[in-house]
């Protein structure tokens, strides 16, 4: 038995893998089940509301990630470019368009159904709007947009909440009723939100466990597995509650046994560097990318990517006592809907609270919603925290823009910078 297979047999990883597979099985079986499909995106994802109408949740960027990790996205992107899409367009979009041009086959090998509803909660990524225009042109299905005001001043106001709630009542919920044929039941929504809050509590506990020295988790590479269920089609379900309870139990054991994070090869042996990372990971070379860190004893103790589907560690929980208000608050508070000073504050707090050695920015070539302002953010965090920062560049799911040699060289230089900073502090 290989070390990799031993790692995969961790209970929470098996559960997560089965959950994702079950959702794809349900999506590709709608011809038999008769269930309707809502396509939406991770930030501002209203899964609790979608479930009220018995609809399935299909997330296009998750499909692109799955294809990226399976080494299939490169050909899909090139197909989209041959059909006229620019090299500068988000590679999630091109991977999705390319997948559709080749039969729209899901990871389980079965055709994906056309969506019955396109639901866009606009939370700061303009690309999502253009993406859904392309999908609407392709499928001709009903489309509804929830316009979420940008928190440019860093504050969520009552007027912002009221504006989002009004749209939920007058546009989003009526569209879901029309498409699904199911009448809205606010008590069902309350129950879904109650389950969300319980799962969110345990997710936050897991992410906060990285404050331990040594950290029992990697909050970036390992973190993408932890956030999978709650950021996609499972928030608000009993399965999510069970998953996060099992995951928390595993992390509690790791703390008790003084173990570091799980890696694809084995437990990480030595914690030499503690990092905060800004920006999404590269998916096409995910394990090679991760290996560059754990080979050097570098563990990511906090990351902004694991907040893209909800900033629960900032105190937000879905609230069954205020259901529509809670959905509005969730959308308004998404990381991609926050202004740059607010993002800088988060990063500085992460560096300080998690005793990190510094900040690493992974700038994604085709992702403007993350990459815009990152150099300024990096400079501000370095200035305010007194810890060194560094900058690397990759892409989401386009293998042409992952240079292993360049990334490795920059990481090695950064780790040397951290060592020099430590030496100066010790000599002072």
User: End-to-end alpha-carbon separation of the chain, Å?
Assistant: 50
Domain residues for the domain of 61 are: 14-185
Domain membership of residue 162 (yes or no) is yes
Domain membership of residue 123 (yes or no) is yes
Coil, strand or helix: which one is 349? helix
Please list, residue by residue across 324-344, b when 16 or more beta carbons sit within 10 angstroms of its beta carbon and e when fewer do. Answer: bbbbbbbbbbbbbbbbeebbb
Confidence band, pLDDT 50/70/90 cuts, at residue 9:
low
The mean pLDDT of 396-403, rounded to a whole number, is 94
Dihedral angle sign, alpha carbons of residues 210, 214, 216, 217: positive
Q: What proportion of the chain, given as a percentage, has pLDDT over 70?
A: 98
Residues 136-185 pLDDT 10s:
998 999 999 999 999 999 999 999 999 999 999 999 999 999 999 999 99
CB atoms within 10 A of CB 263: 22
Rg of the chain's alpha carbons, rounded to an integer? 21
pTM reported for the whole predicted model: 0.94
The answer on pLDDT for 21 being more than 90 is yes
Residues 339-383 pLDDT 10s:
999 999 999 999 999 999 999 999 998 888 788 889 999 999 999
Residues present in the chain in total: 428
Query: Among 13-22, 49-58, 206-215, which stretch is predicted with the lowest mean pLDDT?
Result: 13-22
Domain membership of residue 282 (yes or no) is no
- Provide the pLDDT for residue 3: 41
- In this structure, the strands spanning 298-303 and 117-122 are unpaired
> How many angstroms separate the CA atoms of 46 and 331, rounded?
9
The answer on pLDDT for 4 being more than 60 is no
Dihedral angle sign, alpha carbons of residues 31, 34, 35, 41: positive
Domain membership of residue 194 (yes or no) is no
> How many angstroms separate the CA atoms of 30 and 404, rounded?
41
- Going edge to edge, which strands form the sheet with 358-364? 298-303, 273-278, 358-364, 389-394
- Provide the pLDDT for residue 164: 98
Distances (CA, A) of 384 to 78, 254, 307, 344: 42, 33, 22, 9
- Provide the pLDDT for residue 10: 77
E strand residue ranges, 32-81: 37-39, 56-58
Domain membership of residue 271 (yes or no) is no
Which residues have C-beta within 8 Å of that of residue 368, sequence separation ≥ 6? 90, 125, 126, 127
Domain membership of residue 149 (yes or no) is yes
Domain membership of residue 226 (yes or no) is no
Q: What proportion of the chain, given as a percentage, has pLDDT over 90?
A: 86
E strand residue ranges, 13-97: 37-39, 56-58
> How many angstroms separate the CA atoms of 384 and 402, rounded?
31
E strand residue ranges, 205-324: 273-278, 298-303
Q: What is the mean pLDDT of the chain?
A: 93
CB atoms within 10 A of CB 398: 27
Please list, residue by residue across 41-63, b when 16 or more beta carbons sit within 10 angstroms of its beta carbon and e when fewer do. Answer: bbbbbbbbbbbbbebbbbbbbbb
The mean pLDDT of 314-323, rounded to a whole number, is 97
The number of folded domains in the chain is 1
Q: Which helix (H) or strand (E) holds 25?
A: helix 11-27
Residues 29-41 pLDDT 10s:
999 999 999 999 9
Domain membership of residue 369 (yes or no) is no
Residues 94-117 pLDDT 10s:
999 999 988 999 999 999 999 999
């Amino acid at each position: 038995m290989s070390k990799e297979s031993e790692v995969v047999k961790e209970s929470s990883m098996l559960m997560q893998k089965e959950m994702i597979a079950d959702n794809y099985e349900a999506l590709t079986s709608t011809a038999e089940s008769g269930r309707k499909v809502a396509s939406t995106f991770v930030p501002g994802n209203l899964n609790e509301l979608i479930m009220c109408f018995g609809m399935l949740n299909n997330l296009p960027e998750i499909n692109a990630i799955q294809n990226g990790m399976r080494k299939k996205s490169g050909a899909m992107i090139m197909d989209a470019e041959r059909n006229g899409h620019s090299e500068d367009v988000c590679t999630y979009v091109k991977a999705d368009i390319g997948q559709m041009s080749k039969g729209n086959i899901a990871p389980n090998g079965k055709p994906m159904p056309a969506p019955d509803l396109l639901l866009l909660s606009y939370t700061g990524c303009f690309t999502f709007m253009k993406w859904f225009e392309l999908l609407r042109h392709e499928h001709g299905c009903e489309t509804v947009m929830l316009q979420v005001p940008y928190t440019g001043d860093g504050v969520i106001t009552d007027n912002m909440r009221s504006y989002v709630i009004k749209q939920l009542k007058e546009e989003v919920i009526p569209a879901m009723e029309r498409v699904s044929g199911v009448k809205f039941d606010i008590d069902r929504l309350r129950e879904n939100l109650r389950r969300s809050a319980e799962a969110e509590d345990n997710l936050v506990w897991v992410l906060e466990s990285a404050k331990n020295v040594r950290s029992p988790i990697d909050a970036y590479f390992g973190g993408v597995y932890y956030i999978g269920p709650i950021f996609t089609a499972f928030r608000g379900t009993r399965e999510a509650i069970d998953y996060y309870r099992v995951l928390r139990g595993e992390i509690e054991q790791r703390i008790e046994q003084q173990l570091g994070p799980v890696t694809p090869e084995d437990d990480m042996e030595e914690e030499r560097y503690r990092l905060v990372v800004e920006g999404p990971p590269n998916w096409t070379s995910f394990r090679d990318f991760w290996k560059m860190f754990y080979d050097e004893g570098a563990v990511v103790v906090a990351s902004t990517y694991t907040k893209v589907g909800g900033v629960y560690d900032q105190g937000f929980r879905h609230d069954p006592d205020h259901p529509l208000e809670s959905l509005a608050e969730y959308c308004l508070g998404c990381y991609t809907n926050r202004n740059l000073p607010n993002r800088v504050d988060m990063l500085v707090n992460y560096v300080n609270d998690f005793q990190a050695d510094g900040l690493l920015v992974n700038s994604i070539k085709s992702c403007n919603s993350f990459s815009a302002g990152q150099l300024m953010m990096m400079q501000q965090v370095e200035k305010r925290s007194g810890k060194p920062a560094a900058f690397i560049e990759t892409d989401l799911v386009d293998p042409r823009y992952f240079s292993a040699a360049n990334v490795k060289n920059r990481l090695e230089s950064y780790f040397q910078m951290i060592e020099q900073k430590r030496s100066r502090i010790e000599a002072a």
